[in-house]
Amino acid sequence: MIEFKEFSFRYREGEAPVVRDITLSIPDGCFVGITGAAGSGKSTLTYAINGIIPHCYPGDFYGSVTVEGLDTVETSLTDISRVVGSVCQDIDSQMVSTVVEDEILYGLENFAVPKDEIPARVDEALAAMGIADLRDRTIDSLSGGQKQKVAVASVIALQPRVLVLDEPTAELDPASSVAVFDLLARYAREHNTTVVVVEQKIALLSDYADMLVIVDGGCIRFGDTPDAVLAHSDELLALGVNVPRATTLMNALGAQGLYDGPTVRNVAGAAVALKEVLA
Ligand SMILES: Nc1ncnc2c1ncn2[C@@H]1O[C@H](COP(=O)(O)OP(=O)(O)OP(=O)(O)O)[C@@H](O)[C@H]1O
């Protein structure tokens, strides 16, 4: 369980809190998608989960954040990182090795995983991200998308109970983004891992997330199932969230009393719904 209780945070260099009065409970095994406009505070929320706030970025911390019962202020960054695996936005800054396999080994050795478990953990992590063929490649020779998969694999190898990912598909084309979310979701299901992912593509998020959190100006505007959130497409658009046009269209037809089916998330869904409307 991840629990934010009336959490607010002001970076030491900032004038005012950039996230305010955040109260949110994320149950174990939940797949949470966080989205919102640029600068709304999404990354700051992830830093509060993985302990970067307040351990690396000091400032005024109000309220509390607990992860699996650990208070992130009172617990050391090392102890938090045994529970929370993070993939940050700047993948290059996260890479510490020159070869893919070494990158995965690095974390396992640092966390003192028993030597006899290590080969299987490396194999499983590479397979989970579908990058077994990259094992011996140098990191420098990889594309941005491949690096993102390596970064996720390195974290998955540590088998954290919570995974925090900040825009893990930013460098990927739509098909590869879907593939990464498929792999992530499958991994999370099989290991009962809680996943918190910041992602701009709300349509993609909606297909995987149990809960969508919409952040605006440092506050949570919506925190609910994807369908319940997407039902507010006009408000989402006003907040700068990139709502699928298919959703906006069907919600508009709903407002006119012409459609009363489930929330539509994509063109395929709209096609099915429109057939019913026109029948
Ligand atoms: N280390 C820092 N020191 C001071 N202010 C910061 C720091 N990091 C972020 N901020 C400020 O906090 C606010 C929220 O930033 P944050 O990165 O959490 O938003 P975001 O929604 O993740 O943005 P983006 O989508 O651009 O990554 C912004 O105004 C940003 O300038």
| One-character DSSP codes across 96-134 | --SBHHHHHHHHHHHTT--GGGHHHHHHHHHHHTT-GGG
Residues 125 and 104 sit within 8 Å (Cβ to Cβ): yes
Nearest residue CA, atom 28 of ligand 1? 39
132 and 191 fall within a common domain:
no
Query: Is residue 251 one of the residues assigned to a domain?
Result: no
Domain count, the chain: 2
Residue-level pLDDT at 275: 87
Q: Which two tokens stand for residue 174?
A: 């739509």
65 and 183 fall within a common domain:
yes
Residues with CB under 6 A from ligand 1: 11, 13-14, 18, 36, 38-44, 57
73 and 136 fall within a common domain:
no
Pairing mode, strands 2-11 and 59-67: antiparallel
Range of the domain at 143: 94-158
Query: Is residue 264 one of the residues assigned to a domain?
Result: no
For the CA atoms of 242, 245, 246, 251, what is the dihedral angle to 10 degrees? 90
Query: Is residue 68 one of the residues assigned to a domain?
Result: yes
- For the CA of 13, the closest atom of ligand 1 is 4
* Ligand 1 center–CA 42 separation, angstroms: 8
Please provide the distance, in angstroms rounded to a whole number, between the alpha carbons at the two ends of the chain. Answer: 46
For residue 274, what is the enclosing H or E element? helix 267-278
* Ligand 1 center–CA 44 separation, angstroms: 6
Query: Is residue 195 one of the residues assigned to a domain?
Result: yes
152 and 167 fall within a common domain:
no
Domain boundary among 180, 201, 226: 226
Residue-level pLDDT at 215: 97
What are the pLDDT tens digits along the chain (279 aa)? 999 999 999 999 999 999 999 999 999 999 999 999 999 999 999 999 999 999 999 999 999 999 999 999 999 999 999 999 999 888 888 888 999 999 999 999 988 899 999 999 999 999 988 899 999 999 999 988 889 899 999 999 999 999 999 998 887 888 888 888 988 898 899 999 999 999 988 989 999 999 999 999 999 999 999 999 999 999 999 998 989 899 998 999 888 888 888 888 888 888 888 888 787
Round the CA-based radius of gyration of the chain to a whole number and report it: 20
- For the CA of 47, the closest atom of ligand 1 is 18
Residue-level pLDDT at 161: 95
Query: Is residue 181 one of the residues assigned to a domain?
Result: yes
* Ligand 1 center–CA 137 separation, angstroms: 34
- Mutate which of 7, 15, 42 for ligand 1 pocket (most atoms within 8 A of beta carbon): 42
Nearest residue CA, atom 7 of ligand 1? 11
Phi, psi of 216 (to 5 degrees): -140, 125
